[in-house]
Each structure stands twice: as C-alpha cells, then as structure tokens.
Amino acid sequence: NLKSEKFEIINYKGNRNHTKMSALEIDTEAKTITIGSRKKGSNSFLKIYDKLTEQLENIGRYAQLAQQFQSWVRFEVTFRGQYAKQLTKLILSLPSRDMLQQFIANKIIEKYCLIDTEMRQLTEYSEALIKFSTVAPPLVATSPRNNQLMQSIHYTLKGSGFFPMLEKVKQIWGIPAVTILLKRLLFEYEYNYNPNEDVNIWLKKNAPELQVLEFETYLDSIIEIFYIKNAPSSPKSAKKSGRKNAE
C-alpha cells in the first residue's frame, strides 16, 4: 500500500512525510519496512516489521505469547539527537508513570500517522493510537546549518575580530581588563542597544521554533559544527576533549 501510494504517512500538522522508505522483502513479501534514515544526523525513523515471525523463528522472549496470534506487526519509532533530548525533558515532566504509554502513543502519531489515500481516512491502527494518546508539546527539529543565528555565532568565533580585540586588551592590560571590557559590553547591550527592524522580523519568524529547544544544548551543537567545519585549519580545536567547557 505504501509503495503503490494507497497509504501515505503524515505528521500531526497534516504534512506528508517525504523521507525515504526502504524494505526487506522475502518472496515479494515485506518483512521489515523502514521509513526515514538510520544514518547519523537523522532525528527519527520508523520501523514496521513482522514481530510474529521474528519471535517464532528466533525463539524470542515472547515466543510463547506469539503462538497465540496469527499476525503481530510492530511499529517501532526511534528518536535521536534533538528529539531524544526533548523527549527526556518531557518524560521527566510527566505527572505520573501511568501517563507514559499515552505519551509514547502521542509521539508516534505526531511523526508517523498512516492514512488511506483512497478513503481519505486514518488506518485503524493510527486511529487507535490517536484515541489512546494524550496531549503533549510537539518535538521540534531545528537545523542550525540553515540558521542565521548559527552563522552569527560562527562569525563571532572566527571572523568578527572579537577575540583578537580581547587578546589585545589582555596583552596590554591583563585579564582583569578583559573582564571589565566584557562587563561594559554587557551593560551597553542591556541598557543602550536597540534592535533594528531586521532583528524583530527574524525573531517573529524563528523565535517560536527555537524557544522549545534547551539553549545550552542548541549552543553546543552550533559550536560543535563550527569546529567540524574548521577542523582542517585547526586540528587541535576539532577534538572535543581538548576544549574547555564554559561554566
């Protein structure tokens, strides 16, 4: 049905999932279907597979239970990267453990909801998940590669002249002078800086998406990309263990 586009996968916004699809087929019958990429850097993928055959052939943990059924298909979603970090915070904030299963159902259906394109209605299993699931904030993936904020931070780290300025002050007046300078710059920013219209437009467009992310985690990913991009010219900096953490 997926191959013939009788079924399609949409997210909670109703947008079609355009990630790649692959399958392991035996005698033209799909035993395992993967929606999305398993490669490093992807935030999630869905695996649909024949749990019944897996348990019976491998004498798995649930082999006895599997014998009671004619069909047992498992929908298994893997969340990584930004999604995994957001999920951790959301799970820890759940009012009780009893809500965990409903929360998991919500997250599966949020990214991978199957609909019948001919009938224009949910498949029975997606509908069952929706009825069972609870309401929870959506997971948001923001790629800093296409983000102007990332470019600004990278520019500050490498090409803006900010660090050379600090070095000049340090060499002439010492570290205490650098501290005074940074405090004064912070004061000027807080009390005398007025953002222009471009900044306000950017905030309206990007702030809602970025606010759901933990800033320190987001900043770490931006700086990590900076060192990866600049690894050839600064091999020592590319090694994370060689950098001091900012406390």
Instruction: Encode pLDDT of 188-197 as tens digits.
Output: 999 999 999 9
Mean pLDDT of the chain: 84
For residues 199 and 240, what is the distance between their CA atoms, to the nearest angstrom? 32
Mean per-residue pLDDT for 49-76?
Answer: 89
pLDDT digits (tens, 9 = 90+) for 215-246: 887 788 788 778 877 765 433 443 444 444 44
Query: What pLDDT band is residue 140 in, cutting at 50, 70 and 90?
Result: confident
Higher pLDDT pick, 241 / 64 = 64
Q: What is the C-alpha to C-alpha distance for residues 22 and 32, in angstroms, rounded to an integer?
A: 8
215 CB neighbour count, 10 Å cutoff: 9
At residue 232, the pLDDT reads: 53
User: What's the pLDDT at 106?
Assistant: 93
Q: For residue 99, give the 3-state DSSP assignment.
A: helix
Q: What is the pLDDT of residues 78-97, one digit of tens each?
A: 998 878 888 888 899 898 98
Give me the percent of the chain exceeding a pLDDT of 90. 31
Residue type, 23: A
pLDDT-derived band at 126 (thresholds 50, 70, 90) equals very high
- Structural tokens at position 196: 């222009």
Neighbouring CB atoms inside 10 A of 121's CB total: 11
Q: What is the DSSP letter of 95?
A: S
> What pLDDT shows up at residue 100?
94
